[in-house]
């Protein structure tokens, strides 16, 4: 009886880990497919609307969040780990970047994103 219960427990653990990996993969796929659609919709809204600047800022914020979420899920899937990473930037205790540095990073990300988009359309 002990052997059956231990193998049953092992089966449950394996099944749980497999389901977690499958869920992470599905989320990553959905985010990758939804991001371009959201970008296009936000771009269309921001082009001719009176509050275009506000919509552009919102679009950039959403794009940044989608990109970071995609990267986080990809990192998890790539490492094969279903546990959270302990090396969080927020728990690092380092100095916060200045507003200029954040703006420079945002612009660099936008430039890289545009390069990836043009490369993908070729």
Note the pLDDT tens digit of each residue in 70-103: 777 777 776 554 444 444 444 445 577 788 888 8
50: helix, coil or strand? coil
Note the pLDDT tens digit of each residue in 38-68: 888 877 766 665 666 777 777 788 888 888 7
Does 94 fall in a domain?
no
Q: What is the CB-side half-sphere exposure of residue 46 using CA atoms within 13 A?
A: 14
pLDDT(22) > 60: yes
Does 36 fall in a domain?
yes
pLDDT grade for 1, boundaries at 50, 70 and 90: very low
Does 108 fall in a domain?
no
58: helix, coil or strand? helix
What are φ and ψ of residue 89, in 5° steps? -65, -30
Does 104 fall in a domain?
no
Total count of domains within the chain: 1
Per-residue pLDDT, averaged over 22-31, amounts to 91
Domain span at 54: 2-77
Does 115 fall in a domain?
no
d(CA 82, CA 14): 12
């Amino acid at each position: 009886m002990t052997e059956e219960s231990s193998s049953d427990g092992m089966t449950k653990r394996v099944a749980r880990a497999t389901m977690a990996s499958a869920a992470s993969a599905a989320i990553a796929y959905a985010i990758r497919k939804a991001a371009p659609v959201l970008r296009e919709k936000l771009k269309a809204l921001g082009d001719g609307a009176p509050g275009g600047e506000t919509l552009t800022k919102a679009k950039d914020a959403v794009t940044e969040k989608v990109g970071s979420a995609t990267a986080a899920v990809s990192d998890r899937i790539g490492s094969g780990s279903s546990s959270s990473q302990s090396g969080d930037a927020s728990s690092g205790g380092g100095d916060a970047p200045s507003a200029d540095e954040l703006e420079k990073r945002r612009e660099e990300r936008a430039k890289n994103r545009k390069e990836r988009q043009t490369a993908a359309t070729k």
